[in-house]
Structure 1
Amino acid sequence: MAPSSRRATVETSVAARAADLFRFSTRLYGHPEIGYREFASVDAFVALLTANGHSAEVGVGGIPTAFRAHAGATDGPQVVITAEYDALPGVGHGCGHNVIAASSLGAFLAAADALAADPALPGGVTLLGTPAEEGGGGKELLIQAGALDGFDASVMVHPGGHDVAAGESTAKRQVVATFLGRTAHAAANPHLGRNALDAAVTAYQAIAQLRQHIVPTDRVHGIFLDGGARPNIVPERAVLEFFLRSRTIDDLLALSERVEAAFRGAALTAGVEVEVDWDVEPVYLPTRLNEPLAAAFVAHSAPRREVSLFGAAGGGLGSTDVGNVSHLLPTIQPTVAIGDPGIPGHSRERADSTQTPDGERAILDSSVALALTALEVLTDADLGDRAWAAFRAQGDPVRVSDLVPARPWPAFPHRPDHKEQP
């Protein structure tokens, strides 16, 4: 199949399913589910895959809301199209994961049609549903389960303010510090108590002062989870939770040491104990950019949408578990513009923007460009070679388990209608 006829097949496929993809996006928007509870969202994926002649395996890697579907051959080059579909508590799809889900699904179905239209095309495409990106690290758990082994490239898009093919993200860690003191009557005999809240406040202030002496792109932001029971009781327990972010893995680990020192120093000052618990949720690695794959996405977007290769340098950056995938194989996560560039991420305004004509256009454009990029990886060995060369030029593969001790997996929720057997 010539590239021109391949594009025609993909565009026809996406256009024919436009209404289904819009309804699918709206269904997720109207029924947002947080990480590892995306049961209805997975059901919506399975229903549309089944309607289009594809079977889906649910529960991949032992994660109830992870799934995958495959099209094409199982030998030869392989591309994974990842999909996100978890929402934010209280905000719904304020990160636009319903658009991500619809775009990845549309891209998979279009690539599958192209593979079916030309059996001579090599390799295959997998749609991998990756739950709990908003903190739960679903992709990291799937990496640990081996679900991302054996692929030559990974692709997906993300909504945002600008059309950019290759954008950075930061590494992220989570830490919970629990300060443990001793109760006493706060008026009658406070000298007999040891105030855990004092330690937590001192630690919070120490970290606030630390911000003056870290690089401007590092981020340390936290909250109090517990600060005592009543004002007339010296608090015996106080809890802080912080997120740490850095542009590089080494910087993140160095920042971690400085934050832990603030916790321990504050505990010593207040005469209390402290338990420091790192990585209750998985570490997110910074995105390793891949210029050859990003350039292919730009080229395939060009007839429909003008996409910049690189975003503007500097400024604050979020974090994503796509970064973990990007340290294992060539990966792209282009940003597709929806609505006013000033709409903040993680907002109700961003969620609402997905339901506009601009949001619908983003689904169609992204589905086409992702499908064509995946198919080019299958059919152009030179692109695959250049993508891997760009990957290796940035270092060897990195797994989170190479950096920090592995943590036990969470206990996954059951479906809402699940009842334990007596």
Structure 2
Amino acid sequence: MKELLKNNLEAIQNRLWEMNDILYDHPELGDEEFESMKLLVEFLEQHQFSVEKGIVGRPTAFKAVYDSKKDGPTIAYLSEYDALPEVGHGCGHNMIGTMSAGAGVILSKVVDEIGGRVIVLGTPAEETNGAKVPMAEQGVFDDIDAAMILHPADESYESGDSLAMDAIQFDFRGRTSHAAASPEKGINALDAVIQLFNGINALRQHVTSDVRIHGIIKEGGVAANIVPDKAIAQFYVRAKDRNYLNEVVKKVINIAEGASSMTGADLHIENYELSYDNMVTNQTLSELFTSNLLTTGVKRVKKAKESYGSIDMGNVSHVVPAIHPYIGLDSPGLIAHTREFANLTITDNSHKILARGALALALTGYDLITNKEVLEKVKNEFRQA
């Protein structure tokens, strides 16, 4: 049967390569991926998937289902297809979206015989306001047994962890006045932002080493001779564990409130992007995927590398067994979010790598459906975690 899966790949791989390159040529930013979504949806519909678009209130999100009508597990593959400003697909989401759609189709060709369901979820805006967050919150994964996504990288790595993250905006409002003639009449909102930065810099010494706090001044005044009545700072606050992150965020908010008291500026706090939870890799599922990936021609898969980024797949991993491994583009040291990375995703070698990734995802889904013992082990690990 696994040989049949390989044959199913060969039947569609030329189309997968075409779609990958089309996505590269027409990059779309998060929540604007209308043509990217259309491309993937049409491919899945051509292979008898039933598709619901615009799920969880996100116009470019979708849920594509192939149901065997027989009892069995439900396997989900997650597609990303948002690009980066100016850089294009410098994070390889053209490959991610195509590999997941391809894996879904490959596996769908055998589920009529082995049972179960295959779902491909279109998950927009991973780089900014990830749609996996409301999907996890609104029950999209409630009837799913395992969720997988595969990310290109310089080399292949096992699924690991990621940092939980909150994106927080601090909006200070003061009062304008002439900065030279009557400064005493003004309330300087920019001073409040500066005190916020100073306080956060002092806090860094007293948090664990995994914490990352980094921000910008989005607005800070309009002219040097006018006391700024509006100043806005935006920060990402990250930590390995969601509970500890919540503690750190409280401290950052206390600093902001102190800056407000010191300067007299009013303060409004809000999240300007959705919060991401830390990634909890299901090790049983990860080992299963790694073993399948090594059968496709990938020669080496390294242990998970320490991550200081944040991904919305983390939220998924808190509600369903999940993995987020990496497949190498045979370019050690390659840096993501660069044009060099984007350009590498459309080479002949990367096409072959894409095909291996799609096949490995499909093989892993097949194992979960046909091996009840392995699936139960995956679920038991998730319940304990």
Q: What range is the shorter-chain TM-score in?
A: over 0.9
Is 1:354 aligned to 2:345, yes or no?
yes
**Is residue 31 of structure 1 aligned with residue 23 of structure 2?**
no
2:355 aligned with 1:364, yes or no?
yes
Alpha-carbon offset, residue 307 of structure 1? 4.5
TM-score (ref. length: structure 1): 0.87
Summarize deviations over 1:270-296 as a string: whole Å, max 9, x none. 22221121x332211111111111111
Q: Deviations over 1:85-113 (max 9, x none)?
A: 11122221111110101100110111011
- Indicate yes or no: 2:272 matched with 1:280: yes
2-side partners of 1:373 and 1:101: how far apart?
17
4+ runs of 1 displaced by more than 6 Å? Answer: none
Amino acid at match of 2:145: D
Q: Distance in 2 between matches of 1:350 and 1:259?
A: 35
Is the 2:145–2:321 Cα contact (8 Å) retained in structure 1?
Answer: yes
Deviations 1:196-221 (A, max 9, x none): 10111121122123223222221101
1:108 aligns with 2:118: no
Relative distance call for 1:268 and 1:86 in structure 2 (3 A) is: same
Return the alpha-carbon distance in structure 1 between the equivalents of residues 136 and 208 of structure 2: 31
Instruction: Report the equivalent of 1:254.
Output: 247
1:354 partner amino acid:
T
Question: Which residue of structure 2 lines up, in the alignment, with residue 271 of structure 1?
Answer: 264
SS of equivalent to 2:231: strand
1:99 matches 2:95: yes
1:392 paired residue number: 383
Residue 416 of structure 1 corresponds to none
The letter for the 2-side match of 1:264 is: E
Distance (Å, rounded) in 1 between the aligned partners of 2:204 and 2:25? 39
Partner of 2:321: 330
Aligned residue in 1 for 2:37:
42
126, 132, 136: which is aligned to 1:133? 126
Secondary structure of the 1:98 match is helix
Distance 1:209 1:361 in 2: 49
Of the three residues 233, 236, 245, the one matched with 1:243 is 236
**Residue 234 (str. 1) matches residue 230 (str. 2):** no
One-letter amino acid of the counterpart of residue 213, structure 2: V
Amino acid in structure 2 at the alignment position of 1:228: G
- After TM superposition, list the pairs within 5 Å mapping 1:196-211 onto structure 2: 196-211=189-204
Distance 1:357 1:79, change over 3 A: same
Check the 8 A contact 2:54/2:62 in 1, yes or no.
yes
- Matching residue within 288, 295, 300 for 2:292: 300
Unaligned 5+ segments in structure 1 are 1-5, 395-422
Q: Which moved more, 1:333-342 or 1:169-178?
A: 333-342
Equivalent residue letter for 1:131: P
8 A Cα contact 1:166 1:309, kept in partner = no
Query: Contact 2:50–2:66 at 8 Å: present in 1 too?
Result: no
Provide the rounded CA distance (Å) in 2 between the counterparts of 1:62 and 1:190. 48
1:287 and 1:365 mapped to 2: Cα distance?
24
Q: Distance in 1 between matches of 2:150 and 2:317?
A: 14
Q: Select which of 62, 66, 73 maps to 2:68.
A: 73
Count matched residues: 383
Matches of 2:368 and 2:302 in 1, distance apart?
Answer: 18
Q: Which runs of 5+ in 2 are unaligned?
A: none
Q: Is the 8 A contact 2:278 2:315 kept in 1?
A: yes
Task: Measure the CA separation in 2 of the matches of 1:24 and 1:85.
Answer: 11
Partner of 1:83: 79
Q: Note the alpha carbon deviations across 1:10-31, whole angstroms, 9 max, x for none.
A: 1111122222111101111111
Alignment partner of 1:122 is 2:115: yes
Distance in 2 of aligned mates of 1:40 and 1:349: 24
Shift of 1:43: 0.9
- Mapped to 2, the partners of 1:165 and 1:122 lie a distance apart of 28
Which residue identity does 1:300 align to in structure 2?
Answer: N
Give CA deviations for 1:264-322 in whole Å, capped at 9, x if unaligned. 11222222221121x3322111111111111111111122213537314x4x5211111
CA distance in 2, matches of 1:209, 1:159: 37
Moved more, 58-67 or 103-112: 58-67
The CA deviation at 1:73 is: 2.5
How much does 1:50 deviate?
3.1
Q: Please, which moves more after superposition, 327-336 or 53-62?
A: 53-62
Contact 1:80 1:128 survives alignment (8 Å): yes
The TM-score with structure 2 as length reference comes to 0.95
Asked whether the 8 Å contact 2:289–2:364 carries over to 1, the reply is yes
Q: Secondary structure at the match of 1:164?
A: coil
Kept in 2: contact 1:163–1:306 (CA 8 A): no
Task: Tell me if 1:148 matches 2:144.
Answer: no
Deviation at 1:146, TM superposition (A): 2.3
Q: Counterparts of 1:72 and 1:310 in 2: how far apart (Å)? A: 35
Query: Identity rate of aligned residues, in percent?
Result: 35
What is the rounded CA distance, in whole Å, between the counterparts of 1:219 and 1:57 in structure 2?
38
CA deviations on 1:146-201 (whole Å, 9 max, x unpaired) are: 22211110011011122122211110101000111111001111111111101111
Which amino acid in 1 is paired with 2:346?
Q
The residue that corresponds to 2:49 in the other structure is 54
How far apart, CA to CA, are the structure 1 residues paired with 2:183 and 2:248?
A: 35
Q: Secondary structure at the match of 1:166?
A: coil
Which 10-residue stretch deviates more, 325-334 or 209-218? Answer: 209-218
